[in-house]
Amino acid sequence: MSSIELKPTIEADEWRTAQSQFDEAAELIKLEPWLRDVLREVQREFTCHFPVKLDNGHTRIFTGYRVQHNINRGPAKGGIRYHPDVSLNEVKALAMWMTWKCAVVNIPFGGAKGGIIVNPRELSLNELEHMTRRFATEISILIGSDRDIPAPDVNTDGQTMAWIMDTLSMHLGYSAPATVTGKPLEVGGSAGRVEATGRGVTICAVAALEHLGRAPHQTKVVVQGFGNVGSISAKLLEEAGCTIVAVSEDYGGIYNPLGLSIKRVLEYRAREKTLKGFPGAKEVGNQDLLTLDCDLLVPAAIGNQLTSRNARDVKAKLIVEGANGPTTPEADAIFRERGIFLVPDILANAGGVTVSYFEWVQDLQSFFWSEHEVNQKLKAILSRAFNEVLKTREERKLDMRMAAYVQAVSRVAGATRERGLYP
């Protein structure tokens, strides 16, 4: 009885999800026991508790994390998130997923992730800057252009990255733009970086529709999460010919079975700071949104949204994961059994890290590409990765997630095997 009561909590543990996905892939490729032990655990986990002086003169202690999972294929790479629910286990899982993500698209990075336990909406811009710069100082012993390169994630953006880059540059005594990616263009950012993750989701979704023999103009889409990834995915999928019937934010969303104009939704949200009250649409809760009648579901909010509790009620025949870890292993098993085609996060949302790689390369050589060049290179890399994963899926009779894992884990294991163990 107790195991049933505990199940939702256990099912929602990202680190357990990440490790169980790895275990399944390791079994499929018959990975040597020593490599399983090495790759199943993170290499470094750093926790800091640091003081920040608030505008009212009081001091508040914040807790932050930076985790590096594996750096055998290159410097560590991964975002920094600001969220009240950030935990060490979550950051460890995200770091591991970053390793596989970089490997599946075959770019020379390892995986890392960072986060601070904070609700950024409760801080002023001044307090956010002070907290960011202090955290950058705490993790400066780990990060750098040839060691570990942060990027934006949940509740962080180009401004956050500019503060981190400036802080590290002040320590060094010279400007070091390649120390972070996702920066504003004015300080060494890359054209196309802001849209990159959403564009990658769209590239994978269109490729999956083509594989399934479905035309975009026959496809109804639900997007959970209307932040950077979700809003850009919705906009680009609409441009590709799809009909977006529902979108949502953290408190819920809007639904119109005949379709929403994403341009009008974006204009309304910019004006009203909310989706509530959008004309011609009815309000819908975030959980109800996942089970609406549609052909394509894009979970682009946060982790653990698709679980054993709702997986049987999902109507979509195609799921493309815009968020990291939105599907638990239990839900995955149900989707497999139901024949739902799922493009996993480590492939579908790898557009962001791919263009981060482009940005890093551009910064290191001080030579920048046009947005058209960036988008072309992104499409070439993601289309190749999608086709490689699809080929592995068909050859090995796997689902897309395990096919992507087989590709990624094989590449990281190969690099680790070649390098050997030190000393």
List, for residues 140-176, the tens digit of each pLDDT value: 999 999 999 999 998 999 999 999 999 999 999 999 9
7-11, 92-96, 149-153, 289-293: least confident range: 7-11
Q: Is the pLDDT of residue 401 over 70?
A: yes
Q: What is the pLDDT of residue 2?
A: 33
Distance, in Å, from the CA atom of 131 to the CA atom of 148, rounded to the nearest integer, reads 20
Q: Of these residues, 113, 183, 220, 235, which one is catalytic?
A: 113
Average pLDDT rounded to a whole number, residues 390-418: 97
- In this structure, are residues 167 and 140 in contact, taking their beta carbons and an 8 Å threshold? yes
Q: Is the pLDDT of residue 4 over 50?
A: no
Q: Which amino acid is at 160?
A: T
Work out the percent of the chain whose per-residue pLDDT is above 70: 98
Q: What is the pLDDT of residue 251?
A: 83
For residues 209 and 127, state if they share a domain: no
Average pLDDT score over the chain: 94
> What is the reported pLDDT for 154?
87
Is 377 in the active site?
no
Question: Would you state the pLDDT for residue 10?
Answer: 65
pLDDT tens digit sequence for 46-67 = 999 999 999 999 999 999 999 9
**Distance, CA of 192 to chain centre:** 17
Do 174 and 200 fall into the same domain? Answer: no
How many CA atoms lie within 13 Å of 163's alpha carbon, on the beta-carbon side?
Answer: 19
DSSP letters, 206-236, are: HHHHHHTT--GGG-EEEEE--SHHHHHHHHH
End-of-domain residue from the set 320, 348, 376? 348
**Sheet of 341-343, strands arranged across:** 282-284, 252-255, 243-249, 220-224, 296-299, 318-320, 341-343
- CATH number (domain holding residue 242): 3.40.50.720
Please give the full DSSP string across 56-123, using - where no structure is assigned: TS-EEEEEEEEEEEE-TTSSEEEEEEEETT--HHHHHHHHHHHHHHHHHTT-S-EEEEEEEE--GGGS
Tell me the CATH number at 168. 3.40.50.10860
Does residue 177 have a pLDDT over 70? yes
Q: How many structural domains comprise the chain?
A: 2
pLDDT digits (tens, 9 = 90+) for 224-278: 999 889 999 999 999 999 999 999 998 889 999 999 999 999 999 999 989 999 9
* pLDDT of 9: 54
Distance between CA 421 and CA 125 in Å, rounded? 45
Residue 146 and residue 233 in one domain: no
Contact in structure between 110 and 102 (CB atoms under 8 Å) = yes
Structure-token pair, residue 327: 């599907």
pLDDT for residue 286 is more than 90: no
Contacts of 46 (CB under 8 A, 6+ apart): 65, 66, 67, 139, 142
Work out the average pLDDT over 333-352.
Answer: 96
End-to-end CA distance of the chain: 48
**Paired sense of beta strands 110-117 and 76-83, if any:** parallel
Instruction: Give CA–CA dist 278/260, Å, rounded.
Output: 10
Confidence (pLDDT) at 244: 97
pLDDT-derived band of residue 302, with 50, 70 and 90 as boundaries? confident
Domain range for residue 216? 196-348
- One domain, residues 156 and 273: no
Instruction: Please check whether residue 282 is in contact with residue 307, taking contact to mean a CB–CB distance below 8 angstroms.
Output: no
Q: Are residues 88 and 127 in the same domain?
A: yes
Asked if residue 294 and residue 232 are part of one domain, the reply reads yes
* Secondary-structure breakdown of the chain: helix, strand, coil percentages, each rounded to the nearest 5: 50, 20, 30
Q: Is residue 131 part of a domain?
A: yes
Q: Are 203 and 382 in contact (CB under 8 A)?
A: yes
Q: Which of 333, 348, 363 is the endpoint of a domain?
A: 348
pTM: 0.93
| Cα–Cα distance measured from residue 206 to residue 272, given in angstroms and rounded to the nearest whole number | 32
Domain C-terminal end among 120, 144, 178: 178
